[in-house]
Structure 1
Amino acid sequence: MILRCLALIAALAATSAQAGCGDAPEPCSIAGGTYHITLPDTARPDGPAVVFLHGWGGTGADMLRMTAMVAAIRGRGHALILPDGLPRDRGRGQSWAFHPDRPGPRDEAAFLRAVADDAATRFGLNRDRMLLAGFSIGGSMTSYVACNDPQAFAAYAPVAGAFWRPHPTGCAAPVQLFHTHGWTDRTVPLEGRQLGSGFAQGDVFASLEIWREALRCRSPDPDRSSADGPFWLRHWDRCAPGSSLHLALHGGGHSVPKGWADMALDWFSTLN
């Protein structure tokens, strides 16, 4: 038991050591903010990467606690880039100024592009092979970047976060998007909910309709439906050139579900 605990502590320490800027323990700093990066043990020559956005009250470094996700991404030869949101006005942690009706002091889309550009230059990554993903409010931030700045990243994979009310009236296209959500999510329900701050979460299915219209998908019903382990999948493939829409539901709640990283990267690999 003692040996097992020591092994776990060592593994966590090794992961935490990656929560900086390459060999430096502090985060990478650019104009407007900071980000963390963990590189694969064996770098791929094309240098793909996942840029993953934390949720409300979190930080980029917090995402390294999701050891299974981190290991899956690094194990497939992808760098994992973890930007830091803005400090919250009240309380601990950080968040994202994601809602178009409530802009913050930083242009978040421009900041995320700058993070990707800096990481590509600093660590030899392929800027054209970066997937933007995020959890909860990070997922909403991902959705809004995809909607308003679709060329910023190669593809988008929001998890447990979509548009908020009022829903966008339309989005630019084309875009490749894979949305994942928990069937029993009560923090961000599929139908959305009203919050005390006056914010109202959007309806995921309404978001999908917005995407189908923006991507000019031929039919409201999916071209393919399937089940893969814990995921129930729906795919809209017959959309505008260079675009597609995918939905994965799972039986859990507000989380990045087990197996998400491999599923998302399997999909992302088909786009390149």
Structure 2
Amino acid sequence: MKLWLAALCLALAGGSAQAGCGADPEPCRLADGEYHALLPKAGGQGAPVVLWLHGAGSNGGNAVRNAALMEALTGRGYAVLAPTGSRQFGERGASWNFLPGWEGRDETDFLRRAVADASARFGTDAKSVLLAGFSAGGFMVTYLACTAPETFAAYAPVSGGFWRPLPDGCAGPVRLFQTHGWADRTVPLEGRVLRSGEFEQGDIFQGMELWRQANGCAGQDPTAYGETGIFWRRKWEDCAAGSALELALFPGGHTVPEGWVDMVLDWFESLEIP
């Protein structure tokens, strides 16, 4: 765990560049943004994709400098696309335009075009895409999955969910795996108030209720419980065809924990995706 956290801290702080646009040291550029691309050893042709969204104050370049996370993903044969959010956060950082009513770049459209661009450049599989993200990236994953679940094959927010007021409902069905730290103080499970009430993070469990409704699950209580390493897992199976819903908690704080990659990719690969 300590090595994993050290790698994550190094990534957020800077470190030496490890990726750009495949073999090109510069990021892949679109008219309204950029993304970094890491390919597996076998190359990009036909490779499934993890579209990874950074946290607030970071960017795509920092994201791919997290060697532990990136090597775990590419080692499973996945191409990693790490775009940079469109909203400025801090002096040199970025975040995502996820809250309804905010003006600016249509992130859903941008991320869709980034996936299409990577497919044209590297031959990656534009249909086998897992959209995942940490913290503010997890917020972006959550809102995109809620409003446009058909955009990507599945969704995996880490340490991020909805903000209050929560949406009245979400489109569905959706394939979603929520992961959160039991001791997270940056994005507590119950949410918290920021900027003297200007913003208020939502309750992760209330968000799970929205996902159950979107997936037409027959009951509130999980149909299966399990453990994978440090993770405590809850699964809903009595839901609409084509949907998938799980929650995993771990005894830690605001981080991407060691073991998350294999757990979530095992889940993703078990899904029946048209």
Give the structure-2-normalised TM-score: 0.91
- Residue correspondence of structure 1 range 1-272 to structure 2 within 5 A: 18-43=18-43, 46-88=46-88, 90-101=90-101, 103-196=102-195, 198-271=198-271, 272=273
Superposition CA RMSD, Å: 1.7
Q: 1:4 maps to what in 2?
A: none
Q: Is the 8 A contact 1:18 1:37 kept in 2?
A: no
Q: Is the 8 A contact 2:226 2:234 kept in 1?
A: yes
Counterpart-to-counterpart distance in 1, 2:16 and 2:242: 37
Counterpart-to-counterpart distance in 2, 1:270 and 1:61: 30
Counterpart code for 1:211:
W
Q: Is the 8 A contact 1:53 1:135 kept in 2?
A: yes
Structure 1's 148 and 33: CA in aligned 2 closer, same or farther, altered over 3 A?
same
Q: 1:5 maps to what in 2?
A: none
Contiguous gaps of at least 5 residues in structure 2: 1-6
Count the aligned residue pairs: 259
Q: Is the 8 A contact 1:140 1:163 kept in 2?
A: yes
Counterpart-to-counterpart distance in 2, 1:54 and 1:89: 12
Q: Is the 8 A contact 2:57 2:90 kept in 1?
A: no
Contiguous gaps of at least 5 residues in structure 1: 1-7
What's the CA shift for 1:17? Answer: 5.3
Per-residue CA distance 1:213-244 (angstroms, 9 max, x = gap): 11101110001001111000000112111101
Counterpart-to-counterpart distance in 2, 1:89 and 1:242: 37
Structure 1's 228 and 35: CA in aligned 2 closer, same or farther, altered over 3 A?
same
**Residue 165 of structure 1 aligns to a residue in which SS?**
coil
**Residue 151 of structure 1 aligns to a residue in which SS?**
coil
Counterpart-to-counterpart distance in 1, 2:230 and 2:53: 23
Counterpart-to-counterpart distance in 2, 1:24 and 1:60: 15
Counterpart-to-counterpart distance in 2, 1:194 and 1:137: 15
Q: Is the 8 A contact 2:193 2:201 kept in 1?
A: yes
Counterpart-to-counterpart distance in 2, 1:178 and 1:16: 31
Q: Is the 8 A contact 2:217 2:237 kept in 1?
A: yes
Counterpart code for 1:187:
T
> Which aligned segments of 4 or more residues in structure 1 are displaced greater than 6 angstroms?
none
Give the structure-1-normalised TM-score: 0.91
Q: Is the 8 A contact 2:17 2:65 kept in 1?
A: no
